[in-house]
Amino acid sequence: MANPSERRGEVGRWLDFAEEDLAYGRLGMEAFPRAAAWSFQQATEKALKAILTLHGQVPRRTHDVLVLFNAVMAVSDGWEPLRADIVRLAEIAASSRYPDDLPPVGSAEVKAFDGAAQNIVVHARRVWTAWQGEEPGPR
């Protein structure tokens, strides 16, 4: 794994990408809710990979947020309250790619996916800022 300085930059990039995916999903919520749901899953995936990187782990190349969440739980405290959000978003990864695997994503579902992803990305950013010795603030 990279030295602490390189790792700091990599974690920051993961979180920036997560926040970008979150924002992109919000742009498409009304017109393209299924695609927006995928962006929320991607934001979650990247936030979890940021935390793994922060702890010196090499994140697995997977879209399975449950696998990533369990890996995060092994190295970082305070994630258990987000389990329901992870479970909600876990259904998106493979199933959103195939028309017959996921029920249609409507307004209520995409809002729930947005809220779940927001919770995870915000928590990851707080963990990151605490690790840097900074006071977590709005982002």
Q: What is the CATH number of the domain that holds 17?
A: 1.20.120.330
136 belongs to a structural domain: no
Model confidence band, residue 22 (pLDDT cutoffs 50, 70, 90): very high
Alpha-carbon span 9 to 129, nearest angstrom: 13
Alpha-carbon span 20 to 40, nearest angstrom: 10
Averaged confidence pLDDT in the chain: 88
Answer yes or no: are the C-beta atoms of 57 and 75 closer than 8 Å.
Answer: yes
Alpha-carbon span 65 to 92, nearest angstrom: 10
Answer yes or no: are the C-beta atoms of 57 and 33 closer than 8 Å.
Answer: no
Query: Model's pTM, two decimal places?
Result: 0.88
Q: What percent of the chain has pLDDT over 70?
A: 86
Highest mean pLDDT among 40-44, 92-96, 101-105, 126-130: 40-44
139 belongs to a structural domain: no
Q: What is the residue range of 58's domain?
A: 4-131
Model confidence band, residue 100 (pLDDT cutoffs 50, 70, 90): low
pLDDT on residue 138: 40
pLDDT on residue 134: 56
pLDDT on residue 94: 55
Answer yes or no: are the C-beta atoms of 93 and 67 closer than 8 Å.
Answer: no
Alpha-carbon span 124 to 12, nearest angstrom: 11
138 belongs to a structural domain: no
108 belongs to a structural domain: yes
Q: What domain count does the chain have?
A: 1
Q: Record the tokens describing residue 108, joined without a space.
A: 């209520």
Alpha-carbon span 31 to 24, nearest angstrom: 12
38 belongs to a structural domain: yes
118 belongs to a structural domain: yes
132 versus 19: the higher-pLDDT residue is 19
Answer yes or no: are the C-beta atoms of 41 and 96 closer than 8 Å.
Answer: yes
137 belongs to a structural domain: no
